[in-house]
Amino acid sequence: DTEVTQTPKHLVMGMTNKKSLKCEQHMGHRAMYWYKQKAKKPPELMFVYSYEKLSINESVPSRFSPECPNSSLLNLHLHALQPEDSALYLCASSQRTSGGLNIQYFGAGTRLSVL
Amino acid sequence: GDSVTQMEGPVTLSEEAFLTINCTYTATGYPSLFWYVQYPGEGLQLLLKATKADDKGSNKGFEATYRKETTSFHLEKGSVQVSDSAVYFCALIAGGTSYGKLTFGQGTILTVHP
């Protein structure tokens, strides 16, 4: 089983709202990732968690706040977003971050629209 | 820096045609190479992978061989189906990377007509 589950599938929010995206995996993976994908573009890495600790922040604005409460769960908290933040947000997980164990499996994504 | 170059799309084929999507890379160390597929409205699915030179990844009739001498990882399928219509991404993780950043190509849109 290589399933990564993301909720919600779709989200519409205003620029003053606070919302959260959720990602779960039960494969025993210890690395989890957030990506942002704009239409007709490849995914762009936002954050990497390794063993529940934030290891990489790719210069993402502070209106995006990641959280890893445990090894199976990854959240992305959203606040005061801009219309240009509208995109598909993808979560991925892998056994580890390095070497041959870094095979990333993706969820179906949350399609976010900011009005 | 690391980079992946894919052939420009979109690619339009008739059902049962032969498919090739070219992918070349530039990377430090010894990268691992991947093909991901994204169907309309969905996330990315791992299609196949290769971790060392001359490895052949294969899945669902798709194949790609890691060619270190030409720094390439071309995707092929002998007979495409309408259901193969999707966006295909070639990607790498550079060797020795401690945090495993995937570097993607720009993606190739494939449309297969009946």
**Per-residue pLDDT tens digits for A63-95:** 999 999 999 999 999 999 999 999 999 999 998
User: Do B55 and B65 form a contact (C-beta atoms < 8 A)?
Assistant: yes
Model pLDDT for residues A15-46, shown as the tens digit of each residue:
888 999 999 999 999 999 999 999 989 999 99
A53 touches chain B (CB under 8 A): no
Residue B63 has pLDDT above 90, yes or no: yes
CB contact under 8 A, B42 and A100: no
Q: Which residues 32-51 of chain B have a CB within 8 Å of chain A? A: 32, 34, 36, 42-46, 49, 51
Q: Write the CB contacts of A59 (distance below 8 Å, at least 6 apart in sequence).
A: none
When pLDDT is cut at 50, 70 and 90, the band that residue A103 belongs to is: confident
Q: What is the mean pLDDT of residues B50-72?
A: 95
CB contact under 8 A, A108 and B36: no
The token pair that represents B17 in the structure block: 């045609």
B111 touches chain A (CB under 8 A): no
CB contact under 8 A, B46 and A107: no
pLDDT at A40: 87
Q: What is the mean pLDDT of residues B84-108?
A: 87
